[in-house]
Structures are given as structure tokens and as C-alpha cells.
Chains A and B, each alone.
Chain A
Amino acid sequence: MTAGSSTGARHASPVRRARKIAPWVYFLIAVAAVLVLSAVRVLAGATDLTSSGTVQAALTAAVPLAMAALAGMWAERGGVVNIGLEGMMVLGTFGAGYAGYQWGPWAAVAFGLFLGVVGGLLHAVATVSFGVDHIISGVAINLLAPGAALFLSKLYFADAPGGGQKQSPRIADAPKVTVPGLSDVLGTVEGKHWFFVSDVAGVLRGLVTEVSLLTVLAALLIAGSGWVLWRTPFGLRLRSCGEAPTAAESLGVNVYRYKYLAVIASGGFAGLGGAFLAVSSGQFRDGQTGGRGFIGLAAMIFGNWRPGGLATGASLFGYTDALALRGSAAVHALLLLLGIALVVVAVVQYRSGHHVLSAVAAALGVLFGYWYFASDEVPAELVGAAPYVVTLLVLGLASQRLRPPRMAGEPYRKGQGK
């Protein structure tokens, strides 16, 4: 680490972080969110909204999404857009299936990671070395990976005991941990259905009961990524390749190498996401990812290309997933929640002077509220669309708050910067 780069970062920080929100504000927002949730729970009679079972299911669903989002963040922070996340996740699921049924869940994770890295390397070679358009390379990987996974699955799983042409034999699940004592106490409180208190207990109980070690690992990886990218010289250099590669080049950073590392890490995280998915659902199946790579991308955008934000986005999308599994009363309550969120956005936008946007948000919020009060349930088929609709709404209504890496997706050639 050189003194120059660290002081440079310190000088730049006050300017960039002028609008940074303090941690206690986030805490207040979280408390307010739970308050609204419990109010809606009481109003709608949807106990599943904050039950520990829902939170557990949401956590399981959120982990692969968070890994995909993390993968997207690593690549884009290094300046490479990775639409191929979905394909790399598919490779990860196959790798997990192949190693998992033979050598257990941790081998599944390791091999899924490895195949993801292979996918990432392919993307890096195409985009960094050959300068192919990032989107095109990603689309090509999304075409290639499912074909390759299916080819290999036919080859290796068709004759394996318990396997088939399109699915692997069973993979043993990763160990799960429960915080002893605390879980039971919280369970008792949750059972009382007190306003707010039981809701908090339900959420907390979901977070400390039967938590897969994979989930713990995922949380560590998210925190670790944040630390590496924002608190180390390596991370500063990597992010500089996404913001201003020519400037980084002039300071002696080997941009190609950092871009390679970023995209390879991205592939690794996507592979991990696929492996987590395969292990938690017990096997590899063809088409298992079901667009999760794209939802991960959405979670990354929702989270403003930051680890905390993308974890929030992934949890939110995992939460809708879990509610969809839990039945219609909880899902119906989602409409009201979405309506309330939109009205909040409308207020925030109005205060910052964006009156047209505010009006659009308010109108949409009222529309969702009306839908809630005018109907008894939401068709199950539509629930899955929620993450995508939310992302479009975020992009459409709050995009001035988003700040993607400035040169993500732009071609870069060494020595040809202007």
C-alpha cells in the first residue's frame, strides 16, 4: 500500500460521502419497517407476514440471490457488466450436483465455485482480452452454460443411482445451527401475537433457528466483500478500474489484471450461488436457477452496487418468494405494503423537488392500495413477478439516487485512453 493512494482516498471521501446516511437512520428505518409490517399483519390478519417460518424460508431463498448480486457487484465494480450470471449459476448448480452426491455438501460448494470461476474466466477472456461487448458475451454464456450443463448431466447423472438425465442424485444438506435457549424464548413470545413485540420476536427467531451454515458463510462473504472492496488498497484499485480505468492506468494499476480478478471473483460468487441453491434444494435439476441470476442483478441495482444494499434487496426478494410459498393471505398483504412503500417514495420525492415523479409514485401507490382493498387475494402466478416490478419501480422512480460504477460496461484498451 502506498501513502499516496490512501491519502487520496481520504481526501475524496468527504465530498463523496456528503449524503451518507448514518447507521442509526438505517436502524430507525428497520424499526419503522417492522412497525408497518406488524400493523399490516394485524390489519390483514396475515400472521405469516412476520412468522419465524417465513423468515427462515426467506433466508434460504435470499442466499442464492445475494450471491448472484454479490457476483454482479464484483464484476461491475471492476468495470465489467456481467449478464452471464445466470449461466454461471447454472454451471454452479451442475458442479454442486456432480461433487455433492459423491462427496457431500462442502465438496458441492467447492466444485460449484470452481465451475463458476471457469465461467467467469471465459467472460473475462472475451470482454477484457478480446474487448467483446460485455452484454453480448454475457448472453453467449447464458446460451452456452445450460447446454453444457444438460450435456454433462446426461453424461454423468443418467446412470447414477437416484439420478436422471436432467437431475443429479440427492445431495446431503449442509449442517444447520440453532442458538440454544434464545430460540425457545423467542418462540414463546412469538406465540403471544402481541403487536410489534411478537413480530420482532418472530423475525429474530427466524434468524437464529435452524440456520444453515451456508447462510452464515454467505453473510460472511457479503461482509468480507464490503471490507475488501472498500477498506483495502486492493479494493480501491479494483473499484478505480470501474470508475476511471485510464486514471488508474496512469497511476500504475494493471487494469487488465484487476478486471480479470473482478470477473473471476464474480464467476466464483455466481457459482457459489448456484451451489447453495442446489445444496439447499437437495439436488441439481435442469432449469433450477429459474432466472435467479437476473433477480440477483436486480438486487444489485436495488442495492445501489453496495454490499449492504444488495443484501437488503436479496432479502426483500427472498421474502416475497417465501410469502408466495406461504399462501395467499400473506401475499395479499404485500399489495398494501407495496402501496405504502410507494407513498413513502412519493413523499421523499416531493420533498426533494421532483413533483412529477412524486405524483407518479403516489398514483401507483394509491393504485396498489385500491387493488388491495378491492380484491381478496393475489393470483399466485403474479407473485413471482414482484422482484422485477419492484426493480422497475426503483429504476423509474428513484434512479437519481442510484450511482453505478461510472465506466461499467465501457470497453477499455490499455494505452488508448483519452
Chain B
Amino acid sequence: MGRFSPRSLLLGLAAPLGALAFAVLVCAAILGVTGHSPLDTVDAMVSAAQRPRTFVNSLNSATTYYLAAVAVAIGFRMKLFNIGVDGQYRLAAMLSAALAGATFMEGLPSFLRVAMTVVAAMLVGAGWAGVAALLKVTRGVSEVISTIMLNAIATYLVSYLLNPARLAEDRPGSNNVGTRPINEGGQVAGLEIPGSSSQLFGLVFLAALVGFGYWFVLARTRFGFELKATGLSESAAVASGVSVKKMVLVSMLLSGAVAGLVGMPQLLGSSYSYSLDFPPGIGFIGIAVALLGRNHPVGMALAALLWGFLDNSSNSLDVAGVPREIVGIMQGVIVLSVVVAYELVRRYRVRAEQRDVGTALGRTKTAEEASA
């Protein structure tokens, strides 16, 4: 990724843009076949994009998605597949919400409360990911399988704990159940955006910080170098003295810790309690965003924004008479076509490099080169 040439830049952009265009075409075709107007859909989405409220909501969703993507990407960079981000963030959000809403926390200073909540979430996330890491390191169990199982176990664990007899209380007037609401002192204030009724999550800065940290650790530290080396060639990493087991353990714990943060912007910035309607499935969106953004800190931010915008514009599609589920189809097609596009571009690159090497080797030296 280090050297930039016009060709590598163009190829880098070709895959995501091509996939996006392909997805738009597929969705237009689906809409056309099912008797909806693709142009109306575009029109509805464009007018949604111009509303400040959509913008703020998209940014808020993107904050959450970005954190999930970074959590996934930490694993991806060393060929670890943390499918368990989903379970990790839900368990972490639930337990830290219970902690943050507890009565004994109310006497503490605001900063300390928020910090404790966030740290608790990171610890829970890391702990849950640690189970998978431990199984992999000691017993060689594939982290894909174990995290799938842990996701499901987390679902049942959360529904067990989210019970009025345990960590939750009934919400009067509805059949919702949630943890005790976090009062003012434990919340993170949002930012007012002119023209919008909703506020921007205060923890958007946390996401930016995590993104920066991700970049810094990978690009500027020895640990990051070893992590990437392990991902690119395990045998080479072992030969240079890297303990792969240690790397698996540490990167899985880091991934889990970041996954623990995923629920925080929503919890401390808007819902103030973990209840039955806390958004599920963000871990899988994180996988999609990390793929789309190629594990790059900026690329993932752009992908998260796109994802957030698509999600939030779906509300305005209903008004235009287009089923909002078309957005889900579009997101799925984007992911599938973007991975295919990256693979095609990768093959093209390999061929181009081989061609370049071939021409360089096959060429006889010029007179100047020979004399030099």
C-alpha cells in the first residue's frame, strides 16, 4: 500500500465504485421488474440526503458501524475472522448499561462514570472474544466456528439477564424491558446541529480516536508490524521470532475490546439504557463495512458513512411508495460484488506485475546502463 502510482490509485478505486455501480444497476432492475420506478427511488434518496436530520442520523449510525468495522479489521489484518463482534458488543453494551445505570454510580463524578462504563464495556467485549482466542490457542478451534457459537450464547445470556428479576426493570406502559436508565451524570452530551432535531453523538470523537489508534498501531508500532506480518505470511513471521499464539490472543482481545465500544455511542448518547429494542446485528454490518473499506482507516470511515446513509434514507423510501427493504438488498449486493471486484482487481494486479517484471527482465540493457 506504500507506493502510490496513478494506476494503483485507479485500481484501488475501481473495485468499490464498480461494485457500487453494479449494485445500483441490480437494484434498479429489481425495482423495474417489480413495478416500481427506479428514478423515484433515486429522487427520494437524494432529497433525503439534503435534509440535515438524515445527515446527522447517518453520521450517528456511521459512528457505530465504524467501531464495529475497526473491531473486525483488527482480526482481518492477521487473517483472524472475528464473526463474534456481534455477540461481543451486545453483551458488553448490556452489562455496561446495567453498571452505568446502577444507583451506586450516581454519586460519582460524570467523567469517572462514563470512563468506567466504557472500560467495563471494553473488558466484557475482550473477555467474550478471549474465550474464542483461548480455544484457538490451546485447542486449535477455528475462531469462525467458536465465535458463531459465542454469538448465539450471548443472545441467550442477554435475554436471561434482561429480565426484571435480574438486571432489568419493566418499562411501564409498554412490553419493553430494559436496564435501569442512566441519569444525566452518566450520559455523554450530544452536539447540536443547526436545522436538525436530532443531535450528533458526543462519542463520534471516540470513534475517530479509535480509528486513529488503529492506524497508528498498525503503521507505526512494532506490534502492528508483527500483526500484519503474521497475517501476510505466518511462516515468515515465525521465522523472525513472532509468537503466533501470542499475536492471536492479543489481537483477538483487542478486537473484542473495540467491539465492546460499538454499543457505547448509542447507549450513552441516545437510548441511555439497554432494552429489547437495542439495535442488533451491527457486528455483521461491521464485517461488510470493513470489507468495503478494505480495512483501511479512512476507507472504512467512508464505507460506514455510505452504510449509515443507506440505512437512514430507507425511511424516506416508504413515503415514496418503494419498499424500504430494497436498501437491504442493495447492501447485500454491494458486499458480494465488492469482494468479487477486489478479487478481480487483485488478479489483474498480479498479472500486470508479472508483465512488468517480464518486460524488465527480458529487456537488454541500454548503453548508458551497461557502462554505469
Contacts and interface: CB of A to CB of B under 8 A. Distances in A.
A385 B339 contact: no
A144 B329 contact: yes
A392 B149 CA distance: 7
B291 interface: yes
B288 A154 contact: no
A382 B242 CA distance: 40
Contacts of A379: 160
Contact of B339 (A137, A145, A291, A392): A137
Interface residues of A, number: 43
A414 B146 CA distance: 31
Interface in B317-338: 323, 325-329, 331-333, 335-336
B333 A144 contact: yes
A151 B326 contact: yes
Given A155-B34, A298-B149, A392-B149, A382 B335 contact: no
B339 A132 contact: yes
A151 B152 CA distance: 26
Contacts of B329: 144, 147-148, 151
Contacts of A291: 152, 155
A281 B327 CA distance: 29
Given A144-B329, A392-B146, A395-B145, A139 B152 contact: no
Given A151-B325, A381-B163, A143 B148 contact: no
Interface string A340-368: 00000000000000000000000000000
A150 B284 CA distance: 18
A131 interface: yes
Contacts of B81: 135
Contacts of B163: 381
A83 B148 CA distance: 10
Nearest to B138: A396
Interface in A269-312: 291, 294-295, 297-298, 301
Interface in A143-201: 143-148, 150-151, 154-155
Interface string B122-161: 0000000000000100011100111011111101110110
A392 B128 CA distance: 13
Interface in B156-191: 156-157, 159-160, 163
> Does more than half of chain B's interface fall in helix, strand or loop, or is it mixed?
helix
B336 A154 contact: no
A159 B150 CA distance: 39
A136 B150 CA distance: 19
Nearest to B159: A381
A249 interface: no
B93 interface: no
B328 A147 contact: yes
A140 interface: yes
A135 B83 CA distance: 9
B325 A147 contact: yes
B344 interface: yes
Given A146-B328, A147-B325, A399 B141 contact: yes
A291 to B, nearest CB: 6
Nearest to B148: A294
Contact of A396 (B30, B139, B160): B139
A235 B323 CA distance: 44
B146 A385 contact: no
A143 B335 contact: yes
Contact of B144 (A135, A142, A144): A135
A56 B30 CA distance: 42
Contacts of B284: 139, 142-143
A155 B160 CA distance: 36
Interface string B20-39: 00000000001000100000
B323 A395 contact: no
A136 B15 CA distance: 16
B339 A133 contact: yes
B156 A382 contact: yes
A385 B157 contact: yes
A45 interface: no
A122 B159 CA distance: 34
A388 interface: yes
Contact of B332 (A145, A155, A301, A392): A145
B64 to A, nearest CB: 16
Interface string A375-399: 0000101101100110110011001
B287 interface: yes
A85 to B, nearest CB: 11
A141 interface: yes
Interface in A70-99: 81, 83
B160 A382 contact: yes
B343 interface: yes
B42 interface: no
A211 interface: no
A47 B217 CA distance: 59
Contact of B336 (A126, A150, A391): A126
A199 B331 CA distance: 52
A135 B150 CA distance: 17
Interface in A85-130: 122, 126, 130
B333 A395 contact: no
Given A143-B335, A385-B156, A395-B145, A130 B326 contact: no
A297 B141 contact: no
B146 A395 contact: yes
B310 to A, nearest CB: 11
A75 to B, nearest CB: 14
Nearest to B338: A140
Nearest to B340: A130
Given A150-B325, A154-B323, A385-B156, A144 B149 contact: no
B210 to A, nearest CB: 22
Contacts of B146: 392, 395
A385 B152 contact: yes
Q: List the 6 shortest-distance A-B pairs measured between CB atoms, nearest first.
A: A147-B328, A144-B332, A151-B325, A385-B156, A381-B160, A140-B335
6 contacts: A81-B144, A140-B288, A144-B333, A148-B325, A298-B145, A385-B155
